[in-house]
Amino acid sequence: MAGVPYDQMGGHIWFNGEFIEWGDAKVHVLTHGLHYASSVFEGERAYEGKIFKLREHTERLFYSAETLGMEIPYTVEEIDEACIASLEKQGLRDAYIRPVAWRGSEMMGVSAQKNRINVAIAVWEWPSYFDPEEKLKGIRLDIAEWRRPDPTTAPSFAKAAGLYMICTLSKHAAEARGYADAMMLDYRGQVAEATGANLFFIAGGVIHTPTPDCFLDGITRRTVIDLAKTRGIEVVERAIMPDELSGFSECFLTGTAAEVTPVSQIGSHSFTPGEISRSLMNDYEALVTGKAGATKAA
């Protein structure tokens, strides 16, 4: 499907409780979610026909919706079932699943208490978020100008559409400069995350990762921390300042789309993907695919 616009892909989308043709899954131009970012979503992957940590993703979707004052008109169980049915309907075993909920067009303005909460689930093939060859040798990150906001100014712990505006700006700027992505700082100037993935650093055999106190504590992030601890690798969650980057030997990203991706450069700082990064990348692949010898997460 490379090069095909997303609105022109084939198959079906689960839309407010029923499957409709892919091309018919449309919303009005005056939908509140488009104008005021009243929308939340999830990103999930299926491996060998099974959606990895489906319940955790669905529960986070409901948490995000509740944070934005949106009541999803389905149960967690119904959304789980709809995600599984959507994967089967598309006839895919390895795929990306995107549930999304948004306020409709019944009211236009900042206030929208009477707007319907719509829910849709789309499934498509999405093999690798980053270029496969570049991923193996480690991707390069720019340092973004935009910063993750103070939790008192935005719903930082929700997977809400509006929070990704600065991510798009940062990734576009990075790609224009020849980088694959960008590292974002938080409102205090501390290392936060990439534009759509969490960050990990390694020094002296110990993994260091920023405390997720103003950005998403990713499901893949928690999974990889468990995998590292299963291997007996110490994981330290703490505040990390940009001037510490030169003291780390390895760096990698984690995320549903990114999976485990080594990093070779952030700005002027260089890293060499090593044993810990490779081991966790292999452990994660074994876990999600259910291959023999997979390391079991705690």
The verdict on 110 and 226 lying in the same domain is no
The verdict on 100 and 233 lying in the same domain is no
The verdict on 17 and 164 lying in the same domain is no
Residue 248's SS3 state is coil
pTM more than 0.85: yes
Q: Which pLDDT score is estimated for 298?
A: 32
Q: Quick one: DSSP state of residue 209?
A: E
Domain CATH for 152: 3.20.10.10
The verdict on 119 and 142 lying in the same domain is no
Residue 2 binned pLDDT confidence (cut-offs 50, 70, 90): low
The verdict on 225 and 180 lying in the same domain is yes
Q: At what angle do helices 54-67 and 76-89 cross, to 10 degrees?
A: 120
The verdict on 160 and 117 lying in the same domain is no
Query: Would the pLDDT of 130 be above 80?
Result: no
The verdict on 160 and 246 lying in the same domain is yes
Mean pLDDT of 276-282: 94
Domain range enclosing 101: 6-124
The verdict on 23 and 108 lying in the same domain is yes
Residue among 159, 171, 229, 296 flagged as catalytic: 159
The verdict on 84 and 137 lying in the same domain is no
291 is catalytic: no
Query: Would the pLDDT of 283 be above 80?
Result: yes
Which residues, in sequence order, are CB contacts of 68 under 8 Å at separation 6+?
38, 40, 155, 158, 160
User: How far is the C-alpha of 235 from the C-alpha of 225, rounded, in Å?
Assistant: 7
Distance of CA 132 to the CA centre of its chain: 18
> What's the number of domains the chain is made of?
2
The verdict on 148 and 88 lying in the same domain is no
Measured in Å, how far apart are the chain's first and last C-alpha atoms? 36
Q: What is the mean pLDDT of the chain?
A: 94
The verdict on 13 and 38 lying in the same domain is yes
Last residue of a domain, one of 124, 141, 156: 124
Q: Which pLDDT score is estimated for 132?
A: 65
Q: Which pLDDT score is estimated for 293?
A: 47
Examine residue 296 and state whether it is found in any structural domain, yes or no: no
The verdict on 68 and 139 lying in the same domain is no
Q: Which pLDDT score is estimated for 255?
A: 96
Domain CATH for 15: 3.30.470.10
Last residue of a domain, one of 124, 142, 170: 124
